[in-house]
Chain A
């Protein structure tokens, strides 16, 4: 049969993000996939160099709207190290609560998108309806629905008063109830199990070789979580278990996410009940940092998020390198599409929870001549690891 090349994206009703998959298909069978990126490159790293440390907080948050608090956390905890300030314990707890709320809404969003991708629109609508409860909680704590912007060097911008604290605890029950229901749906529904299991399988050895991170890694049976291995913020004091499954397919990844979201509910509850007393909002924000460099890593909803911040002293960073989880999860897993049916391609892509706005920092554009150099994926991977 003739080979057909099918473009998926950059505008796609279910993906909502500008990435282009060039799928080569022989009939219904996928024989090659090429991920074409660059629609979302915004020059964040250069922008961080041009702006001051304090402005950088807002730019780092705007790398990605879904996981903005973890981006800010990674940036802020690195810069705090360079500035020599330490956030008070109450601020650490509030930061942790915001990050875990973000994990809940991110995992609910990808569960909804997965339902839409397999054509289960009712479930998509239901999850999106209940996700608004998580968004409401985030708004209660931070004052914003999406961009939390609650971090500040040496603390948080907004304290959590008693009224809102008890309100969050109250509402959290309802979120938990719905999450348990959706976990049951994903575990038992015939359509979902048939569409997701054995699709896009990554073996444990392959997962380590491809250096995937986050739920994709844990779905392949590797027990790895930055919150556990290298605790930051209030994680050393909050008990939680690292969720992992051995199946390694798309279904396992979704189950890991839903279990993690339930675990996050417990963590938020624990943190809210044991919120330390004391100040959380710093009186003054430091603006200069000592020369030096830091590596900072945080477990984002999609996996390990990594910042390398270099300071030459003064008010601006010298260099900020960001490596996001989607960069590894989306670009390194091209081989997992092969041998599947065409209809499985969006399922596999969605099972990696692609966050395109996170990973777009790799397109090379020659401005003056207007020439564009797209690096091959191999080169990209090398650049990313180097």
Chain B
């Protein structure tokens, strides 16, 4: 299967779709030396066209959701989406608010959900690892 090929060096792109920054600083922390994601081949991609995995954080308001869809379409296949944090999974505390869509899987297909408010950097990496295991199996 062609998706197998990305499991050696999945490049992640991080998109903040209306998060409170909590998840974003944890995703950022997960990509830095203490947690050392490069042992899994994980690297931050600057551009959707270079990315294999999109990490979505935040409660997705309508304006950001359009952007997320566009970024998803710009990413070459095979591509995978990780919904990171309570907001991207269910809306979190913002679930009832008027501008938010509140679920990343209403906009793009989500492969892995990482729960937490915010998830720890270890949890973010564990989510990526689970995704890679799924591909390699």
Contact = CB atoms under 8 A, between A and B. Distances in A.
B31 to A, nearest CB: 8
Given A145-B120, A357-B21, A365 B13 contact: no
Interface in B7-22: 13-22
A58 B33 contact: no
Contact of A357 (B19, B47, B118): B19
A109 B25 contact: yes
Nearest to B117: A147
Interface string B68-101: 0001000000000000000000001110111110
B32 A125 contact: yes
Given A17-B16, A18-B18, A47-B93, A145 B64 contact: no
A42 B59 contact: yes
Contact of A41 (B34, B46, B61, B96): B61
B61 A40 contact: yes
A43 B63 contact: no
A201 to B, nearest CB: 28
A146 B67 contact: no
A384 B5 CA distance: 51
Given A18-B18, A18-B64, A65-B19, A43 B24 contact: no
B18 A64 contact: no
B57 to A, nearest CB: 9
A111 B18 CA distance: 23
Interface in B27-80: 28-29, 32-34, 44-48, 58-59, 61-64, 67, 71
Interface size class of A (residues with CB under 8 A): 35 or more
A18 B17 contact: yes
Contact of B94 (A43, A68, A129, A135): A43
Given A65-B24, A128-B33, A41 B15 contact: no
A129 B32 contact: yes
Contact of B20 (A13, A38, A63): A63
Contact of A43 (B23, B92, B100): B100
Interface size class of B (residues with CB under 8 A): 35 or more
A46 to B, nearest CB: 6
B34 A132 contact: yes
A355 interface: yes
Interface string A107-137: 0010000000000000001101101100100
Contacts of A365: 62, 98-99
Contacts of B16: 11, 16-18, 39-40
Contacts of B23: 65
B118 A146 contact: yes
Interface string A308-337: 000000000000000000000000000000
A43 B91 CA distance: 12
A146 B34 CA distance: 17
Contacts of B62: 365
Contacts of A39: 16-18, 61, 63-64, 67
A65 B29 CA distance: 13
A204 B22 CA distance: 33
A16 B13 contact: no
B28 A16 contact: yes
A367 interface: yes
B87 to A, nearest CB: 9
Nearest to B32: A128
Contacts of A145: 26, 118, 120
A59 interface: yes
A43 B98 contact: yes
A146 B25 CA distance: 8
B50 to A, nearest CB: 10
Contact of B67 (A11, A16, A42, A360): A11
A41 B63 contact: yes
Interface string B100-119: 10000000000000000110
Nearest to B120: A145
A16 B100 CA distance: 19
A66 interface: yes
A245 B17 CA distance: 36
Given A16-B14, A18-B17, A63-B20, A42 B99 contact: yes
18 contacts: A11-B16, A16-B21, A39-B61, A40-B19, A41-B61, A42-B97, A43-B99, A44-B94, A58-B93, A65-B22, A65-B24, A128-B28, A128-B33, A129-B32, A129-B33, A147-B22, A356-B21, A360-B18
CB-CB nearest 10 A-B residue pairs: A65-B22, A128-B32, A65-B21, A13-B46, A43-B97, A65-B20, A146-B22, A39-B64, A129-B33, A40-B18
